[in-house]
Amino acid sequence: MSRTASVAALGLVAVLLAALAISAGTASTSPPRLPANPASGALLVTFDIQVDAGAADYVQRAAQAAIASNQDLVIVMNTPGGLLANMVQIINSTQEVQNHGLAVYTYVPPVGFAASAGSYIALATNAIYMGSGSVIGPSTPYIIGGDPSQVEHVQNFATGLMRSLAEKNGYNVAAAVDMAANNSAYTADEAASVGLITGKAETLNAFLADVGLSGVPVTPFGEPLYDRFLSFLSDPTVDGLFILVGIIALVLDLFHRTLFLSVVAVIFIALGFLGAQIIGASVVGILILIIAAALVILEVKAGHGFFAITGIALGVAGTYLLAYNVQYSPSPYGVVQYVILGATGAVLVVAFLYLTRIRHALMAQPKLIDPGRIVNMTGRASTDLVPGKDGVANVGAEDWTAVSDEFIPKGSVVRVMAVTDGKIQVTTVAPGPEPSKSSEPSATPPTTP
């Protein structure tokens, strides 16, 4: 093809694109496509929440109520986005309302958001109106830890879904695909000018008038407490914190032996695992949390700090990994989540300090055996015994704070020489047959010649 022909072809394409934009902009001024079945009123859903399991259940309840009462469904939207799986559930709920001949409308109030997953939900409705300062998009999904093939797989699905919704409900397909494929966002003016939305409205009443609902009853449909609880559990940071706190309470119960701590431990662990199941959390993240808890438990026995530090680090990492490979739109980790992660680490530090105090208190408790009776008894060094430092030796099946004037390796047989201020003075026993572990006289009478 000659250079002149190429320029002419490009010019023709530009003209066609301009005509498409003009036609889309003209379409945005036309009234919304209304269903054939006249509604007796409208149910109003206040969607100023993240897209998660609680939000999906909330919209499904509202959709069923709208169908049962023959009312249209109005979604007043101000959401940053959320989980893609729950977004699809919400879209299916809106489709079910439409299948019964009723309409679903989206209104984004001034300075509101129909971001990420919210933009897909909006495009699944019969009409979209936005107020000044509001934004729709961006809509590219975000996957934590996904490899390139997983990211491409989810993004291709999201782009195809956005195209399908725009085609079905008469919105600008090119602009809709742009939000999903290129992570673009549109202001209310921009969205209205290209036909991505139906129109603009500065108040809820103006919006209702534009969609023909000004003269019918509009009933608010509040979010049930159960759905709010589901939304709370859909945060992976909260789930990780619940699991960690529950396990720490379980450890404390081993020392305090109170029914309250047992109940708290069971409830927190159960809620943490329930939330992890709701979001489809990573098994690896849960496993790391369990390992972190085991290390904190070991610290009570060891007492040198290494297990506690490692457990705290793994606890924070496990909490983060709970969301591994879960598709979000946008990322689930913002300022609030990082603050919660920091609080998780702080809770673990406080728990470690408390458990350390418990260990010292247990070491200082009166022994079950009279200290005077263990003199000359033998046992084994539970730790290395270094001159001038306290160690631990097990004598008479109990751990004792032990001191020695010589270095005695861990595991060596030792003999108690004296008991002073609750500490036992020990010395090593020469290699050979292990001496008796008691100074009591033998029960066998001596033989006579």
CATH number of the domain bearing residue 377: 2.40.50.140
Of 299 and 327, the one with more pLDDT: 299
- Kindly state whether residue 30 falls inside one of the protein's structural domains: yes
- Kindly state whether residue 351 falls inside one of the protein's structural domains: yes
Burial, 170: exposed, middle or buried (Cβ in 10 Å; 0-12, 13-18, 19+)?
A: middle
Largest CA distance in the chain: 131
| Claim to verify: residue 241 and residue 287 sit in the same structural domain | yes
Mean pLDDT confidence for 424-434: 76
- pLDDT band at 28; cut points 50, 70, 90: very low
Contact 75, 105 (CB under 8 A): yes
Instruction: Give pTM, 2 decimals.
Output: 0.62
Q: Which residues pair with 408 in a beta bridge?
A: 385
> Residue 188: which region, alpha, beta or left (left: phi > 0; alpha: psi -120 to 50)?
alpha
Does position 306 have pLDDT exceeding 70, yes or no? yes
- Kindly state whether residue 17 falls inside one of the protein's structural domains: no
| Claim to verify: residue 270 and residue 317 sit in the same structural domain | yes
Contact 335, 293 (CB under 8 A): no
- Kindly state whether residue 1 falls inside one of the protein's structural domains: no
- Kindly state whether residue 99 falls inside one of the protein's structural domains: yes
Domain of 69, in residue numbers: 23-228
Phi, psi of 303 (to 5 degrees): 80, 10
Mean pLDDT confidence for 308-333: 68
CB-side neighbour CA atoms (13 Å) of 256: 15
Residues 6+ apart with CB under 8 A from 63: 73, 93, 94, 96, 97
Of 193-207, 258-272, 336-350, the range with the lowest mean pLDDT is: 336-350
- Kindly state whether residue 3 falls inside one of the protein's structural domains: no
| Claim to verify: residue 120 and residue 29 sit in the same structural domain | yes
What the block records as the tokens of 13 is 């394409």
Contact 218, 42 (CB under 8 A): yes
Does position 238 have pLDDT exceeding 70, yes or no? yes
Contact 111, 76 (CB under 8 A): no
| Claim to verify: residue 418 and residue 293 sit in the same structural domain | no
Of 66-70, 160-164, 296-300, 431-435, the range with the lowest mean pLDDT is: 431-435
- Kindly state whether residue 7 falls inside one of the protein's structural domains: no
| Claim to verify: residue 174 and residue 316 sit in the same structural domain | no
Does position 118 have pLDDT exceeding 90, yes or no? yes
Domain count of the fold of the chain = 3
Alpha-carbon radius of gyration of the chain: 34
User: How much is the pLDDT for 111?
Assistant: 95
User: How much is the pLDDT for 152?
Assistant: 85
| Claim to verify: residue 54 and residue 153 sit in the same structural domain | yes
Q: Which residues pair with 385 in a beta bridge?
A: 408
| Claim to verify: residue 159 and residue 223 sit in the same structural domain | yes
Q: Where is the domain boundary, 339, 364, 389?
A: 364
Question: Under DSSP, is residue 201 helix (H, G, I), strand (E, B) or coil?
Answer: coil
User: How much is the pLDDT for 141?
Assistant: 86
What the block records as the tokens of 105 is 């409308």
| Claim to verify: residue 82 and residue 172 sit in the same structural domain | yes
CATH classification at residue 110: 3.90.226.10
Mean pLDDT confidence for 262-267: 82
Q: Where is the domain boundary, 348, 364, 380?
A: 364
| Claim to verify: residue 52 and residue 153 sit in the same structural domain | yes
| Claim to verify: residue 191 and residue 305 sit in the same structural domain | no
- Kindly state whether residue 13 falls inside one of the protein's structural domains: no
- pLDDT band at 143; cut points 50, 70, 90: confident
**Residue 141, preceding bond cis, omega within 30 degrees?**
no
Q: How far apart are the first and last CA of the chain?
A: 127
CA dihedral over 421, 427, 428, 430, signed as positive or negative: negative
| Claim to verify: residue 159 and residue 84 sit in the same structural domain | yes
Instruction: Please calculate the CA angle 369-373-379 and round it to the nearest 5 degrees.
Output: 80
What the block records as the tokens of 424 is 């036992």
| Claim to verify: residue 280 and residue 215 sit in the same structural domain | no
Q: What is the DSSP string of 37-55?
A: S--S-EEEEEE-S-BSHHH
